[in-house]
Amino acid sequence: MKAPAAWLRELVDVPVDTPTLARDMHMTGFEVASVEDDVIDFEITANRPDCLSLIGLSREIATRYDTSWTQPAGKDLGAADPGRLDPLRVTIEDPARCRRYCAAIVDVTIGPSPKWLADRLHAAGIRSINNIVDVTNYVLLEEGHPLHAFDLARLAGSHLRVRLARAGEKLKTLDGQTRTLDAEMLVIADETHAQALAGVMGGGDSEVSAATKTVVLESAWFLPTSVRRTSKKLGLSTEASYRFERGADVAAASGALARACALIEQIGAGTARPGWIDATTNIPAPQLVHLALSRVTQVLGADVPVAEIRRILTGLGFVIAERDPGTWIVSVPSWRGDVARDVDLIEEVARHFGYDRLPTTFPPLTTVPAPPSVRLEQDRAVRRLVSAAGFNECVTFSFIADKAAREFASDADLVPIANPLSETFAVLRPSLLPGLVDSVSHNRRHGQRDVRLFELGTRFVAPTGERRALGLAWMGALDADEWSAKPRPVTFFDLKGVVESLGRWLGLSLTARPAARPFLAPGRTAEIVAASETGARIFGVVGQLLPALAVARDIPAQDEVYVAELDLHDVAELVTILEIQRTHPLPRFPSIVRDLAILVADTLPAADVRGTIRAVAPSTLVRVAEFDRYQGPGIPDGKVSLAYRLTFQAAERTLTDREADDAMEAIVAELAKVRGAVRR
Question: Could you please report the per-residue DSSP string of 187-224?
Answer: EEE-SSSEEEETTTEEBGGG---TT--EEEEEEEEE-H
pLDDT of residue 69: 93
In this prediction, the residues of the chain whose per-residue pLDDT falls under 70 are 481-483, 532-535, 573-583
Angle between helices 293-300 and 342-353 (to 10 degrees): 60
Determine the residue type at 462: A
Question: Parallel, antiparallel, or unpaired for β 535-545 and 520-532?
Answer: antiparallel
Question: What phi and psi, each to the nearest 5 degrees, are found at residue 331?
Answer: -90, 125
- Let me know: does 14 contact 65? Beta carbons within 8 Å: yes
| Residue closest to 430 by CA, chosen among 463, 465, 405 | 405
pLDDT of residue 479: 80
Measured CA to CA in angstroms, residue 160 lies from 88, 163, 254 at distances of: 8, 9, 17
Euclidean distance between CA atoms 302 and 297, whole angstroms: 5
Determine the residue type at 162: V
pLDDT of residue 576: 59
Euclidean distance between CA atoms 195 and 511, whole angstroms: 74
Measured CA to CA in angstroms, residue 432 lies from 458, 526, 554, 617, 633 at distances of: 8, 18, 19, 41, 43
The b/e string for 53-67 (b: 16+ C-beta within 10 A; e otherwise) is bbbbbbbbbbbbbee
For the chain, how far is it from start to end, CA to CA, in angstroms?
A: 88
pLDDT of residue 573: 67
Q: How many CA atoms lie within 13 A of 441 on its CB side?
A: 17
| Residue closest to 195 by CA, chosen among 215, 211, 213 | 215
pLDDT of residue 478: 86
pLDDT of residue 534: 62
pLDDT of residue 579: 46
Domains, the chain, in order of start with CATH, read 2-65 (3.30.56.10), 80-280 (3.50.40.10), 287-356 (3.30.56.10), 374-574 (3.30.930.10), 592-679 (3.30.70.380)
Which residues are within 8 A (CB) of 606 and not within 5 positions of it... i.e. 6 or more apart? 626, 642
**115-150 pLDDT tens trace:** 999 999 999 999 999 999 999 999 999 999 999 999
Q: What pTM value is reported for the model?
A: 0.64
Question: What phi and psi, each to the nearest 5 degrees, are found at residue 282?
Answer: 55, 50
- Let me know: does 250 contact 209? Beta carbons within 8 Å: no
